[in-house]
Amino acid sequence: MDPLVDTLGRAMRDLRISVTDRCNFRCTYCMPREIFGHDYEFLSRDQVLTYEEITRVAALFVDRGVNKLRLTGGEPLLRRQIENLISMLAAIPGVDDLTLTTNASLLARKAKALADAGLTRVTVSLDAVDDETFMAMNDAGFSVTGVLEGIDAAAAAGLGPIKINCVVQRGVNEHAVLDMARFFRGTGHIVRYIEYMDVGTTNGWRLDDVVPAREVIAGIDAEFPLEPIAPNYLGEVANRYRYRDGAGEIGVIASVSQPFCADCSRVRLSAEGGIYTCLFASTGTDLMTPLRSGATDGELGAVIDRVWSARTDRYSELRSSNTGNWVKVEMSYIGG
């Protein structure tokens, strides 16, 4: 089957699968505790896709041109026996890259099992290397040491090169930009600095809180000279730079200041079986109901075809006219 393309000619290449809406962190830019408190009602077990359902749907996406699968959440390692799902997905013909994004709180104990199951790489979220800042941002009392232990375990298990995502917020962790660069230079790990985004409606996003990617790069370049390098593939979200002294590379994800909608090849499957064609989507398309009502692969595939073929999303390019009046699904439901 030829790759499926949308109304702007963008092919579907990357499926991000949220396996749970639950997380053990309460990061202020994603799941703030005042909203996601102890009485918040998460999805029940019967409301989330089973591993068999996820695998069936993922295979239909692969048939339509997807070659990269990324497991997200919530925190995907909270899902029991996640390595079973990984082994099922790894067995789908045509999957070239099978990755997982995690806060690393459980990674040290699970890394080897994930690698043995067929996981290719991991991306770790870490917003600072000092405990005071990091613990204030994750709001769960989890230390940097625990994350670093997870990163080390993942590297030892062969889940590299490891990408480390750092969301940068004005007045919160700007100092972490250089701290992270100093700490991870020469390790082989790739730090990716992410502009604080207006995902969902609960994180209190303001444009004034965004540290533009150009500012991040200028700050690092002043101490460790950088040079740009070509993307690994069309549609790569991060702009890549390498240290001129050969100590490795970094990336910046500039969704706010330098939108990359024109090359976006990503589609998202939520934990409850919804298809979302943009991280900033306000609604999705229900796939769970037909899936559990006996729909054939052909019928499910027709839903996927219809959704992607009609896709017009370019939220980041239109952000200035949407901010403040656009109701968006929370990131914890559809992953990052």
Length of the chain, please?
336
Report how far apart, in Å, the C-alpha atoms of 160 and of each of 93, 98, 203 are: 22, 12, 31
Q: Do the domain assignments include residue 1?
A: no
Q: Do the domain assignments include residue 6?
A: no
What would the pLDDT profile of 195-254 be if each residue is shown by its tens digit? 987 665 555 567 778 899 999 999 999 999 999 999 888 778 899 999 999 999 999 998
What would the pLDDT profile of 74-84 be if each residue is shown by its tens digit? 999 999 999 99
Q: What is the pLDDT of residue 315?
A: 66
Q: Do the domain assignments include residue 3?
A: no
Domain assignment of residue 116, given as a range: 14-334
Q: Do the domain assignments include residue 22?
A: yes
- Name the 3-class secondary structure at 185: coil
Task: Please state, rounded to an integer, the average pLDDT across all residues of the chain.
Answer: 91
Residue pair 235/224 in contact (Cβ under 8 Å)? The answer is no
40 contacts: CB under 8 Å, gap ≥ 6: none
Q: Using omega within 30 degrees of 0 as the cis cutoff, is the peptide bond preceding 74 cis?
A: yes
Task: Please give the Cα distance from 234 to 10 (Å, whole number).
Answer: 10
Q: Do the domain assignments include residue 8?
A: no
Residue 269 phi/psi, 5° resolution? -115, 115
Strand partners, 17: 71, 269
Q: Which residues of the chain have pLDDT under 50?
A: 321
Residue with tokens 């934990």: 271
The 3 state secondary structure assigned to 254-310 is: CCCCCCCHHHCCEEEECCCCEEECCCCCCCCEECHHHHHCCCCHHHHHHHHHHHHHC
The one-letter amino acid code at 151 reads I
Q: What is the pLDDT of residue 197?
A: 78
Handedness of CA 153, 79, 290, 267 (dihedral sign): negative
Residue pair 307/283 in contact (Cβ under 8 Å)? The answer is no
Q: Do the domain assignments include residue 7?
A: no
CATH at residue 180: 3.20.20.70
205 contacts: CB under 8 Å, gap ≥ 6: 29, 196, 197, 198, 199
Q: What is the pLDDT of residue 292?
A: 98
Write down the H helix ranges in the chain.
Answer: 51-63, 82-90, 107-117, 131-138, 144-156, 176-184, 213-223, 288-292, 297-309, 319-322, 331-334
For residue 228, give the H/E element and its range.
strand 226-229
Q: What is the pLDDT of residue 146?
A: 98
Q: Do the domain assignments include residue 173?
A: yes
Number of domains in the chain: 1
